Structure 1
Amino acid sequence: MASIRQWTGLEAQALRRALRLSIRAFADYLGVAVRTVTKWEALGVDTTPRPDKQAILDTALSRADSDARVRFELLLMQDGSTPLKGYYRSAPREWDYETWMDDLGRAAACLARQDFKFAASLVDRWLRRFDPHSLDSHGLYLHARSLVLLGDSQRDRGDIHGAFSARQNYHKAQRLFQDLRVPRRTAQVELSLAVTEEMGGRLRSAAKRYKVLTEDERLSPRDRSRARLWIGTALSKEGDNAYAIRVMNEATRRFEDLEEPADWAVAHQKLALAHRGAGDLSTALSYIEVALSAHAADSPMQRVRLDTAHAHILLTDKATAASGLRLLSQAAETSREYGMSHQSASIDSIRHAFERAQ
């Protein structure tokens, strides 16, 4: 969340509206006189609260919940005939860039816990604030990073197609990073684009993209190993489980050499599903047990993916099917709660396949 460098009556009014408080209730909340709030709102940008009131407003903003902060950001961005029209029209200043970088870090942290709405608001405010044609190379780099994070938010929610989708934002970011000659970031966006192809069902095409990226020196060894693992993921979905298992095993060894325990655990989860697809249920169960014991499922997305994989394996055996259905329902509830539509669709597909087989 960006802090306000200096409060005026304009920002104070936006905060009151974001908190959905009346003038009297807002004054009580801040511990100031009603006439003080009335003066702020009457004078707008022509009044600046005293330093002690600036600190009070800072505290009120920092204590606001995520929904209120989103509303505050949107009020400061919105167009139309409101008093806030034109708030963001100046050229970037050095502190703008510092705050922009801070907001990108906050957005990444929000994405890690699937707070998609607030993450999107943090990056979208900067994408709206400045025309990219007026930005220098530093600003264009931050603009491209914002596009990637917005794309990540859309991808994790399952918005991968259309004019305002993850794919479109990734393509825009890719072109900017290419123009800026930032090869590592360009390759990372190419990897994200391959993920959207896989999510869209273009499995062979995604596998080919992943394969090229496994040898791409622009990427870090970890990202190249992830690309190798994802070859197996795409091919396993396609039904080519034997080859998928071979490349996944290689990726698993590389994660171990790189000392990446989280990726190593994810690889075991993927291997479990591939062995299930190959009809080797006992091996699938052994791999998923390793994933369950080693994986720190500290985010809703991680929990849903692990629970879904585990449930999918349990549903294969009539003796454990009831447990699998309970676990699948748990994953579905979490997916709905956090707006993970792609995960919800996968869960529904697994459930329907199980029902048809009965």
Structure 2
Amino acid sequence: MVSVQQWTGREARALRAALRMSSRAFADHLGVALRTIAKWESLGTATRPRPDTQAILDTALARAEAPAQARFEELLFTERESTRSADHETWTEDIERAVACIGRQNFSFATTLLNRWLASRDPCRLDGNGRYLYGRSLALLGDLQRDQGAILGPLSAAHSYRTARAMFTELDIPRRVAQIDLSLAVVQEMSGWLEASARQYELLATDERLSPRDRARAQLWVGTALSKEGNNEYAATVMVSATRTFEDLGEPEDWSVAHQKLALAHRGSGDLKQALHCIDIARTTGTVDSPMQRVRLDTAYGHILLSDAATRNDGLYVLDQAKQVAQQYGLSHQLRSIEGIRMGRRG
């Protein structure tokens, strides 16, 4: 026989329907007021009968005939599945809204949307779909923390990514696992572990678990890590190959970002003419409705301008503009990069 651990208005309504009684007949059957039945059914899971009434409901269910008990179990299962499905739909909508908020660097609202679910759900008690949504929410929280510059520690992108990775591994979703590996490599690069991140990018650039676009991004980021290490000529070669792949795939935004990174590699190798050419392409073809991308473009442009004494003042002005936007949106990692560039030029 089915049993109820904790009666709420939902279970009480299901029992009445299973017994095929009117609200008045059910109230008489239990020995409670009609308004009590109305309250249970209007509030559903938001109300719990008193302990003595819980016992009355237990007795009513135990004394019900077998067909009524079977109907009760089926009604309860159907309602719970319907509620869970509605929860998943709302959760999915919040994830999509969080993606848009992170893209606009509206970190506060994105955090609210994600924590609404992460803080109220125990992943061990979720079904497969719920655990998938939990993992997606954790991965997005990692993206948010990474963009804010919180990359290491217990409340960081690295921690969120690793937890999400374990969940996707358990669910056996290789594509998501590989995407998290790519994000963790970015965290390594941001933390200054350039050699380790470059090796990881190289592995992921040929990883069949990833889409062609993600493999091309991994290849581009190999060049980024190499450029930060000072190996700018080889980095430029790797980046050119990734740029061609983005062109073949029809990915204009990635193609533009690749030119931005290629510009910095040329700056590092001393080819300022080619650096300015590439950054001009990035600035004229890229979509800059994202504050993050605007800051990255201006930071790269200012860095290149600072490399030439004739355009040094222009470079400082561009970096100041980027700094203001980074401060406005709380982009702490970008702020550190800008300050590092300025301090480097002063030295």
The alignment's TM-score, normalised by the length of structure 1, stands at 0.74
SS in 2 for 1:189: helix
**Post-superposition offset of 1:124:** 0.9
Work out the CA distance in 2 between the residues paired with 1:102 and 1:280: 47
Provide the secondary structure at the position in 2 that maps to 1:129: coil
Q: Which residue of 2 aligns with 1:307?
A: 298
Residue of structure 2 in register with 1:148 after alignment: 139
**Counterpart AA for 1:251:** A
Identity %: 56
- CA offsets 1:294-327 (integer angstroms, 9 cap, x no match): 1111110010000000000000111111111110
Q: Is 2:170 the counterpart of 1:182?
A: no
Instruction: Measure the CA separation in 2 of the matches of 1:320 and 1:254.
Output: 33
Which residue identity lines up with residue 147 of structure 2 in the other structure? Answer: D
Q: Which residues of 2 match residues 26-37 of structure 1 at below 5 A?
A: none
- Rounded Cα–Cα distance in structure 2 between residues aligned with 1:319 and 1:164: 44
User: What is the CA-CA distance between 1:222 and the residue it aligns to?
Assistant: 0.3
Aligned to 1:138: 129
Paired residues for 1:1-358 under 5 Å: 93-356=84-347
- The residue that corresponds to 2:10 in the other structure is none
Structure 1 residues not aligned, in runs of 5+:
1-44, 50-89
Paired with 1:133 and 1:253, the residues of 2 have a C-alpha distance of: 44
User: Cα deviations across residues 220-250 of structure 1 (Å, max 9, x unaligned)?
Assistant: 0000000000000011001000110110010
Q: Deviations over 1:322-346 (max 9, x none)?
A: 1111100000000010000000000
- Kindly provide the amino acid, as one letter, of the partner of residue 292 in structure 1: R
Hey, what's the Cα distance between the residues in 2 that align with 1:274 and 1:94?
Answer: 49
Runs of at least 4 residues off by over 4 Å: none
Structure 2 CA distance for aligned equivalents of residues 132 and 287 of structure 1: 46
For the residue of structure 2 that corresponds to 1:93, the secondary structure is: helix
Residue identity opposite 2:311 in structure 1: T
For 2:156 and 2:222, how far apart are their aligned partners in 1? 23
Give the counterpart letter for 2:173 in structure 1.
V
User: Per the alignment, in what secondary structure is the counterpart of residue 289 of structure 2?
Assistant: coil
Q: How many residues align?
A: 272
> CA deviation digits over 1:110-137, x for unaligned, max 9?
0010001111110111011111111010
Question: TM (normalized to structure 2)?
Answer: 0.76
| Letter matched to residue 167 of structure 1 | A
Aligned to 2:71: none
Pairwise CA RMSD of aligned residues?
1.7
Shift of 1:165: 0.7
Report the residue type matching 1:217 in the other structure: E
Instruction: Note the C-alpha offset of 1:93.
Output: 1.7
- Secondary structure of residue in 1 paired with 2:119: helix
Give the aligned partner of residue 17 of structure 1: none
Alignment correspondent of 2:46: none
Per-residue Cα deviation, 1:42-66 (whole angstroms, up to 9, x for no partner): xxx99x89xxxxxxxxxxxxxxxxx
C-alpha distance in 2 between matches for 1:282 and 1:102: 47
Give me the whole-angstrom Cα distance separating, in 2, the residues matched to 1:130 and 1:290: 46
